[in-house]
C-alpha cells in the first residue's frame, strides 16, 4: 500500500474523533506524500475511510463525524490543489473539487445499516487492523472487552495501543503476549485470562476478501469454562464415589474387629500403666472410621429425604451447635435473617452438615490467620430471584486464586490433618438439592461462601 494511504486514515480519525488540535506537521507530511496522486484516488480513499469511521461511531455522533471529515478533506484539497496566488482560471477546478469532496462524504450512511447493527451487537468482539497495524474498526462488544471507548482507540497503531492510557495494563499485557505468540510461534489462536478472571478466546485471521487487513476476534468464554469445570468436577466426584463404594466396607470391617480386641485388652494395658496406648489406638481407629464415613457419604447416590423448613430456624440451630466452641476460641458468631419466611425443601441432616462444615472451616481460617485479629463469622439468609441464599462469611486468612480453583476437588486440603473430603461432599449435597455454591475470597481479608437453594413459594 502506498505511504499516503497508511497515514491518511489515522490522521483523519484523529481530526474527526478527537478535538482536531494542531496537526500541522502531520498534514504537511501527508501533503508531501499526496503530491502527484490523482484527486479521484484521494476522494475514493476518503469515502472508504469515512465509512470505517461511521461504522465505529454512535448514532448521535455520526452527523458531527461527517461534518468534520468534510472539513478535513476540504482543508487538505485546498492546501494541496489551490496554492496561494493560483490563477483565476482555477476557480472552476476549485468549485469542482468542492462538489467532489461533498460527494465523497457518504451521506447515505447517516444511519447504520441492518447488517452493521448486527455486527456491532455480536457477542464476540471484532476488530480490523490494516496491514500496517492501524486499527480501522471495532464493534461495541470489543469496546466492552477492552473497557475503553471506541472513539479513543480508532486510528491508533498497534504500538500506540500497547501503551494507550485508556487500556488497562492487564489488557495491554494480553496484547503483547498474543503478538509474541503470533510473531515467534506463528500461533493465531490463544486463550488468555485477564485480571478479573475472565477467560478470553482470541483469534487473528487474514482473509483474501479483506485486502490484506487482519481480523481480530475476542470471545468471552468464561461461562463455557465454568460449565466445563463443573462437568470436570462432577466427573471427579463420580470417580470418588466409585472408589469409596469399592473400598469403604472392606476397610471398615477389619477396623471394627481391631477396635473390639483393643477394648478387650484395655484392662490389661491399664494394669501395666499403658492406658495411654489404648486411648491413642482407639482415637486413631475412630478417626479412620470418620474418614470412611465421609467416603461413604460422598458416594451416596440416593435423593435427599426432604422436608420443608424455614431457613432462619436452620441457621439458628447451627448457631446453637457452634457458639460454645466459637466462644472458647474468641470468635464472635452473628446471624441476620433478612426475610424470616424464606422456606426451602431439604434433607435437614445433610444441609446442616454442609453449614456446620463451612462454619468449622471459617473458625479454622480465623485461627490460622497470621495476625491476632478478633474473629467474626456472620451467617445471613436472603432471597435472590428463585433461590434462598445462605451466606457464611469470615474475616480469616482468605484464599488465593490457585486455592479457590481447587477448593471442591476431592482430597485437596490446606490443613495438616484434613481429609480433603468435607467441601467436595458439601458440593455434592448442594448439587443433589438443585442448588450451587459460590465462593468469594481475598487472601488476608476473609472468605464468603454463598449456598443457593431453590425456594419454596408459600401459596396464599
**pLDDT per residue as tens digits for the range 385-435:** 889 999 999 998 888 888 888 888 777 777 766 666 778 888 888 988 899
C-alpha cell at 62: 455520526
By C-alpha distance, which of 181, 137, 175 is closest to 158? Answer: 175
For residue range 126-168, what is the model confidence (pLDDT) as tens digits? 888 887 778 888 888 888 888 888 777 888 887 788 778 888 8
Domain boundaries, the chain: 1-112, 113-220, 224-298, 307-454
Band of the pLDDT at 343, cuts 50, 70, 90?
very high
Please compute the mean of the pLDDT values over residues 450-455 and round it to a whole number: 94
The predicted-structure confidence for 4-43, as pLDDT tens digits, reads as follows 777 777 777 777 766 545 556 666 767 777 777 777 777 7
Mention the CATH class of domain 307-454: alpha beta
Phi-psi region of 220 (alpha: psi -120 to 50; beta: other; left: phi over 0): beta
Q: Which residue has the cell 484539497?
A: 77
Q: Which of 222, 188, 218, 191 is nearest to 204 (CA)?
A: 188
Instruction: State the DSSP code for 225.
Output: H
* Helices and strands counted in the chain (H then E): 16, 12
pLDDT tens for 76-117 read 776 665 444 444 445 555 555 555 555 555 555 555 566 667
User: Which residue reads 445433610 in cell numbers?
Assistant: 350
For 113-220, the fitting CATH number among 3.30.460.90, 1.25.40.10, 3.10.20.30, 3.30.450.20 is 3.30.450.20
> What's the pLDDT score for residue 347?
87
Residue 107's pLDDT is 52
Is the four-CA dihedral 299, 304, 310, 313 of positive or negative sign? negative
Give the Cα separation of 420 and 409 in Å (integer).
8
More confident residue, 255 or 185: 255
- Whether 16 and 57 have beta carbons less than 8 Å apart is answered as no
Label residue 438 exposed, middle or buried (CB < 10 Å: 0-12, 13-18, 19+): exposed
Q: Length of the chain, please?
A: 460
Plot region of 279 (φ>0 → left; ψ -120 to 50 → alpha; else → beta)? alpha
DSSP 360-427: HHHHHHHHT-SS-PPEEEEEEEEEETTEEEEEEEE-S----HHHHHTTTSTT--SSTT--S-HHHHHH
The Cβ of residue 25 has, within 10 Å, a number of other Cβ atoms equal to 8
Q: Are strands 125-129 and 135-138 parallel, antiparallel or unpaired?
A: antiparallel
**Considering the entire predicted model, what is its pTM?**
0.45
- Integer Cα distance of 14 and 251 in angstroms: 75
Amino acid at each position: 500500500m502506498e505511504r499516503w494511504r497508511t497515514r491518511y486514515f489515522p490522521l483523519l480519525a484523529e481530526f474527526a474523533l478527537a478535538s482536531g488540535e494542531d496537526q500541522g506537521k502531520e498534514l504537511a507530511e501527508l501533503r508531501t506524500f499526496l503530491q502527484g496522486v490523482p484527486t479521484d484516488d484521494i476522494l475514493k480513499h476518503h469515502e472508504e475511510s469515512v465509512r470505517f469511521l461511521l461504522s465505529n461511531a454512535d448514532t448521535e455522533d455520526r452527523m458531527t463525524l461527517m461534518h468534520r471529515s468534510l472539513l478535513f478533506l476540504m482543508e487538505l484539497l485546498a492546501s494541496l490543489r489551490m496554492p496561494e496566488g493560483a490563477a483565476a482560471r482555477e476557480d472552476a477546478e476549485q468549485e469542482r473539487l468542492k462538489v467532489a469532496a461533498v460527494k465523497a462524504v457518504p451521506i447515505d450512511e447517516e444511519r447504520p445499516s441492518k447488517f452493521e447493527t448486527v455486527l456491532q451487537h455480536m457477542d464476540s468482539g471484532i476488530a480490523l487492523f490494516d496491514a500496517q497495524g492501524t486499527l480501522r474498526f471495532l464493534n461495541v462488544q470489543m469496546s466492552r472487552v477492552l473497557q475503553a471507548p471506541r472513539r479513543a482507540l480508532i486510528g491508533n497503531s498497534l504500538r500506540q495501543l500497547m501503551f494507550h492510557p485508556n487500556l488497562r495494563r492487564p489488557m495491554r499485557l494480553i496484547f503483547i503476549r498474543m503478538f509474541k505468540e503470533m510473531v515467534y510461534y506463528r500461533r493465531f489462536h490463544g486463550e488468555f485470562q485477564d485480571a478479573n478472571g475472565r477467560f478470553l478466546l482470541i483469534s487473528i485471521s487474514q482473509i483474501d476478501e479483506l485486502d490484506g487487513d487482519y481480523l481480530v476476534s475476542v470471545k468471552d468464554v468464561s461461562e463455557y469454562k465454568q460449565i466445563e469445570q463443573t462437568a470436570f468436577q462432577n466427573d471427579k466426584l463420580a470417580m470418588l464415589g466409585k472408589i469409596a463404594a469399592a473400598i469403604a466396607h472392606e476397610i471398615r470391617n477389619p477396623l471394627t474387629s481391631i477396635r473390639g480386641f483393643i477394648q478387650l485388652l484395655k484392662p490389661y494395658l491399664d494394669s501395666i500403666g499403658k492406658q495411654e496406648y489404648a486411648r491413642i489406638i482407639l482415637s486413631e481407629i475412630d478417626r479412620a472410621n470418620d474418614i470412611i464415613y465421609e467416603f461413604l457419604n460422598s458416594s451416596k447416590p440416593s435423593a435427599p429425604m426432604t422436608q420443608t423448613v424455614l431457613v432462619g430456624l436452620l441457621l439458628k440451630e447451627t448457631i446453637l451447635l457452634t457458639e460454645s466452641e466459637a466462644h472458647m476460641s474468641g470468635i464472635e458468631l452473628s446471624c441476620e435473617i433478612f426475610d424470616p419466611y424464606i422456606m426451602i425443601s431439604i434433607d435437614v441432616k445433610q444441609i446442616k452438615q454442609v453449614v456446620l462444615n463451612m462454619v468449622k472451616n471459617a473458625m479454622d481460617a480465623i485461627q490460622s490467620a497470621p495476625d491476632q485479629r478478633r474473629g467474626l463469622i456472620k451467617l445471613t439468609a436472603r432471597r435472590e430471584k428463585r433461590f434462598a441464599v445462605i451466606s457464611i462469611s469470615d474475616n480469616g486468612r482468605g484464599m488465593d486464586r490457585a486455592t479457590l480453583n481447587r477448593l471442591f476437588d476431592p482430597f485437596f486440603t490446606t490443613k495438616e490433618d484434613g481429609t480433603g473430603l468435607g467441601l467436595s461432599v458439601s458440593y455434592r449435597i448442594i448439587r443433589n438439592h438443585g442448588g450451587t455454591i459460590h465462593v468469594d475470597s481475598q487472601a488476608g481479608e476473609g472468605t464468603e461462601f454463598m449456598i443457593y437453594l431453590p425456594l419454596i413459594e408459600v401459596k396464599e
